[in-house]
Structure 1
Amino acid sequence: MRVLLSVLFVTILASCAPTPRQDTDIVVIGDSVMAWNRSDGRDIGSVIAAELQRPVLSRANFGAQVRAGNGASLLRLGIPDQLPEGPWNWVVMNGGANDLGFSCGCTRCAGEIEALISPDGQVGAIPDLISRAQAQGARVLWLGYYRAPETRSFEGCRPGLVEIERRIARLAATRAGVFFLDAEDVLDPPLPEHFDRDRTHPSVLGSSLIGAAVADLIKRRG
């Protein structure tokens, strides 16, 4: 099972500045789950870099959506817009919660889910993004959400996100070089120390645990 997670924040202008390109290796894109704890240098991307001792460029942003409109794209709130030109060895990505929350209010979201990814996992904005990363030579790791039982954020989104991630896992099972990691297998909902004060986003410990799990998968796959 996965989670209804995401972003409740408007992106600050500083986060919209272009990000300098680093050495070719790993890039992280997605929403606030990826970006949380960045001000302390302890976000998921920073943990991956520390665990692997490899350069990681994180462009994840608060409020980001897979299917963002033109205005959101200008603020770098389109997750596909976060992906720089490669080549990259790995692209670590997440997303979908803001799409459901902002486009359909987490209810009657069948059309939005279909636009994100078809039942067989082969068609939609998410497969398109994964294919684009693979075309740059990258292996792709999609990070699923975790369950945050005490949150009231985007209430009602969980069933839709579970379905989206079921489809992504189906895609990963049928395409070489694509991997699905469920953060729900990493964080333990009964442990409040895994969550920040908003009870939605990961605490520093939560980001550390997730980042370490991502790093471990990358290390095992080379």
Structure 2
Amino acid sequence: MDPIRLSLAALAAMTALAGGAPAQSLPEDLYRAELLPGWQTSHGTRMAALRLSLAQGWKTYWRAPGEAGIPPVFDWSGSENLASVSYHWPAPEVFEVSGYRIFGFHDELILPIEFTARDPGKPIQAKAEVALGICEEICVPVEFDVSGELSGGKPDERIGRALAAGPRDAREAGLTAIRCAVEPIRDGLRLTATLTMPSLGKTEIAVIEAGAGDIWVSPADTHREGDRLV
């Protein structure tokens, strides 16, 4: 079932309190955003990154934020000489928040972003409007702009470390087979995915990403049946 992607993360014990509020401007010392210009890859693309620095104890969300999180949204339409953008998310931490499970990062997020130019011979003038959530005792949505010229430069160790911290793919995780079944239930559909793969550790948590659209996915209940993760 190609539209459905599954990602696995190891459990890390963290706490916070989730809530909601209109997008707002917070004191500048709570967060700082910048675009790291990066370098040109061997494929001719630009590997840059969004760096989000947070005040101590503050957190932000992964691409699939979990039950109580706020998914990040990026709008690059204000850029010049930009054909496409792809994101290379590091593997997230797992937070238990007042009985909810959310996925994200604390203190700092370096998100590698790969840019493809319309005209490879010219620099990219990158500009984005970003909306995401940050939280400490409460969680609030914030909006900000980042921009910069992407040209020249040499590999940035910070971006390299973030790329190396990405999730393992199916081959690296030892996945040898997957079977999915869908059945109707009272308030929607139930997806059961059975993955044949070795254990990833004491605690295994499955994240089901539904892709674009107004689809809500409840937390996955996960258990082992020998060499199969269900």
Q: For this structure pair, what is the TM-score category when the shorter chain's length is used for normalisation?
A: under 0.3
TM-score, length basis structure 2: 0.26
TM-score, length basis structure 1: 0.27
Pair member with larger Rg:
2
More helix by share: 1
More strand by share: 2
